[in-house]
Amino acid sequence: GQNIDQPTEMTATEGAIVQINCTYQTSGFNGLFWYQQHAGEAPTFLSYNVLDGLEEKGRFSSFLSRSKGYSYLLLKELQMKDSASYLCAVPDSNYQLIWGAGTKLIIKP
């Protein structure tokens, strides 16, 4: 079966760096997605990784290790607007996304 684990909540300081981890177990592998969801809003796409390594996109980077079933989202130069939940998702064998419960990131001044 599929299983995705993320920390429930993390706290970081404005201007700092934070790493949000995601571990997954899948019968096959078709990539891994990260989404951002502000409170009361819809999720929005951040990144997609299908190959091992780090993909950088501005202040946000996403890393994947397929052999370890592990990914992380790295947020640099944290801003207050980065306070949100970060959702990790992987497609199942039918390409339907299986979602982690999300990590709520709290940014403090």
Partner 1 sequence: TAGITQAPTSQILAAGRSMTLRCTQDMRHNAMYWYRQDLGLGLRLIHYSNTAGTTGKGEVPDGYSVSRANTDDFPLTLASAVPSQTSVYFCASSGEGEAAEAFFGQGTRLTVV
Q: Which residues bind partner 1 (CB under 8 A)?
A: 4, 8, 30-31, 33, 41-45, 48, 50, 87, 89, 91, 94-102
Q: How far is the CB of 48 from partner 1 (least distance, A)?
A: 5
Q: By C-beta, is 78 or 102 nearer to partner 1?
A: 102
The residues, any chain, with a CB within 8 Å of residue 68's CB and separated by 6 or more, are 23
Q: How far is the CB of 79 from partner 1 (least distance, A)?
A: 23
Q: By C-beta, is 67 or 94 nearer to partner 1?
A: 94
Q: By C-beta, is 67 or 96 nearer to partner 1?
A: 96
Q: How far is the CB of 38 from partner 1 (least distance, A)?
A: 12
Q: Could you tell me which of 85, 86, 84, 89 has the C-alpha nearest to residue 100?
A: 89
Q: By C-beta, is 78 or 89 nearer to partner 1?
A: 89
> Alpha-carbon torsion 10, 72, 100, 37, what sign?
positive
Which one-letter amino acid corresponds to residue 74? L
DSSP state of 43: -
Q: How far is the CB of 37 from partner 1 (least distance, A)?
A: 9
Q: Could you tell me which of 86, 73, 88, 87 has the C-alpha nearest to residue 32?
A: 88
